[in-house]
Amino acid sequence: MEYFLKHQQTILRTIGALFLLVGFVIHFWVVPQKGLSQNDRAAANLARMEASVAGASSAKATKKKSDSTKFLKKLKDTQKKQMEYLTIIIMILGAGSLGYSFIKKKDEEEV
């Protein structure tokens, strides 16, 4: 505990800078760019090929698949939003920790 109190500013600045760095890296690495990814293109091509092979006689089967794709799409959207929120929270914590480390305490001014 004594070590933490002695080096509190350095620890808070290090943690704040680390959180900010990690938040920005995760945000720009994980948050997807606009447009289709290769997996989405492959899934669309596969669906197109299955539809052309199956023809018009299997309209019921495509409806069942569309229900699962709606669920998967919602799940992916939810995961994207969660990652965005997580990175925003990490960046706020980093900025707060970094900013708090620069605030002078009354005890430090007297010493």
Predicted pLDDT at 111: 47
Predicted pLDDT at 89: 92
Which residues of the chain, if any, have pLDDT below 70?
A: 31-36, 56-67, 107-111
The total number of structural domains in the chain stands at 1
Q: How far is CA 38 from the centre of its chain?
A: 19
Predicted pLDDT at 78: 92
Predicted pLDDT at 30: 75
Range of the domain at 72: 2-110
